């Protein structure tokens, strides 16, 4: 997982991560709004993240967001199409959090370890 450099968080549990990407948690401990960023729904990275972290397929998550939009007025996370785009987004938005393959991580973002798998 990668977060903005200004974010002091260093570790997250898989349950916390699920809450963030399902927008059930809203604020970081340092009072910054959480801004989860997904990959495009067709990407292999998104499909793997959805399956192993959110415990739902991409399609089931789309249904979840229809439900959330109607009952809570909450929209799904914005999406990006490449590691480069994800990194640039996370680097430019203070509360942003996303995921990229380890080989693509660069110094513009901070890495967060995930426990509980």
Partner 1 sequence: MTRIFALAMILFIAGVLPASAQQTEIAALRAELARQQAIIAQLLRRLDALERPQPPAAATTQDLRDDIKVQEDSVNSLREIVNSKVNLNGYYNFRFSVDGSEAPAAFQQHHLGVLMAKQLGKFNFLMELELQNVPHHAEIAPVEGEEHEEEGAETDAGHTDTDISGEGQVAVENAWMEYNHNRLFSVRFGKQLSPQYWWQNHYPNLTLSTALPIYLRELFPAELVGVMVQGSAARSVGASEFGVGYKLYAANNNFEGNSRADLRDGKAWGARGQVRFPTAGALRRFDVATDVYRGHVGLATNELVEDNVFGFESQLEVSSFLFQAEWARGKSLAQTRTGYYLQPAVRIDEDWIAFYRAEQLESPRIHTAERRHIAGLNYRPYPQIAFKGELYRSQPLAREFIHPTEERKPYNGFATAAVFFF
Contact residues: partner 1, CB under 8 A: 13-15, 24-27, 33, 35, 37, 55, 57, 59, 62-63, 65-67, 69-75, 78, 80-82, 84-85, 88-89, 92-93, 95-96, 116-117
Nearer to partner 1, 6 or 27 (CB): 27
CB of 65 to partner 1, least distance (A): 8
Residue 72 makes CB contacts below 8 A (sequence gap 6+) with: none
Please name which of 86, 84, 93 lies closest in space to residue 33, comparing C-alpha atoms: 93
CB of 30 to partner 1, least distance (A): 14
Please name which of 55, 48, 45 lies closest in space to residue 15, comparing C-alpha atoms: 55
CB of 86 to partner 1, least distance (A): 8
State residue 77 phi and psi, 5-degree precision: -60, 155
């Amino acid at each position: 997982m990668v977060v903005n450099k200004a974010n002091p968080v260093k570790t997250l549990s898989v349950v916390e991560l699920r809450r963030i990407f399902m927008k059930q948690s809203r604020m970081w401990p340092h009072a910054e709004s959480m801004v989860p960023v997904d990959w495009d729904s067709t990407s292999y990275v998104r499909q793997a993240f959805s399956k192993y972290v959110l415990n739902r397929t991409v399609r089931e998550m789309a249904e979840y967001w229809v439900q959330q939009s109607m009952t809570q007025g909450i929209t799904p996370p914005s999406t990006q199409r490449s590691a480069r785009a994800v990194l640039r987004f996370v680097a430019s938005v203070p509360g942003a959090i996303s995921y990229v393959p380890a080989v693509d991580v660069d110094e513009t973002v901070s890495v967060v370890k995930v426990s509980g798998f």
